[in-house]
Amino acid sequence: GAVVSQHPSRVICKSGTSVKIECRSLDFQATTMFWYRQFPKQSLMLMATSNEGSKATYEQGVEKDKFLINHASLTLSTLTVTSAHPEDSSFYICSARNPEGHTEAFFGQGTRLTVV
Amino acid sequence: GQNIDQPTEMTATEGAIVQINCTYQTSGFNGLFWYQQHAGEAPTFLSYNVLDGLEEKGRFSSFLSRSKGYSYLLLKELQMKDSASYLCAFQDSNYQLIWGAGTKLIIKP
């Protein structure tokens, strides 16, 4: 089946620094990728939809200047958490769907971000 | 509007059967998914129903009734490793996934 790879799986950073998370689709071209955040014991919260070659679409309440998304190729999307603060600590997950059919979403392994 | 609802937590016994329900409301519908998520890990795909009826896949089965806005995930011969959260999500008219909050399933020996 299709595989989505996300890196890093865990990262600890200092307050005020920036962290980049990569999401790659390994065996299909993903024109669209999705970025989610998940706090403990809560469901997935869609942050933004990443579109190849164009600007990302952000959900209401998500700061586009804080969560920078770049989708420069058909297999790579990146999420950069800028000027991270402890409240940004969360589990970030990307997903992609094969554009050939609107079937299941494949998820990356997730990134556990801890801001100290 | 759109909404989706599933129980927060369920407990079952190893070897038994458990049914996790999911109800939804939407004007446009293009199928319903079930995912399993172990703590600290990403969700993994379990099933997809777009037509009414029961889809069986090994120990797991999923049912859909579009007229009732209702689905369930049936897990048979429960094993300890089935302890996880189970997420349902429907696909709306724009093929966007709308996620439930997840049901935490606790399996006891």
pLDDT tens across A56-112, in order?
A: 999 999 999 999 999 988 899 999 999 999 999 999 999 998 776 667 788 999 999
Q: To the nearest whole angstrom, how far is the Cα of B108 from the nearest Cα of chain A?
A: 20
Q: To the nearest whole angstrom, how far is the Cα of B85 from the nearest Cα of chain A?
A: 9
Amino acid at residue number A37: R
DSSP E strands, chain A: 4-7, 10-13, 19-25, 32-38, 45-51, 57-58, 67-73, 76-81, 90-96, 106-107, 111-115
pLDDT(A2) > 70: no
* Chain B residue whose CA is closest to A43: B101
Answer whether A110 sits within 8 Å of B42, measured CB to CB: yes
In this complex, which of A43, A93, A102 lies closest to B30 when CB atoms are compared?
A: A102
C-alpha–C-alpha distance, residues A103 and A31, integer Å: 14
> Percentage of residues in chain A with pLDDT exceeding 70?
96
For A1, the token pair is: 């089946």
> Percentage of residues in chain A with pLDDT exceeding 90?
66
Answer whether A105 sits within 8 Å of B102, measured CB to CB: no
In this complex, which of A43, A105, A108 lies closest to B100 when CB atoms are compared?
A: A43
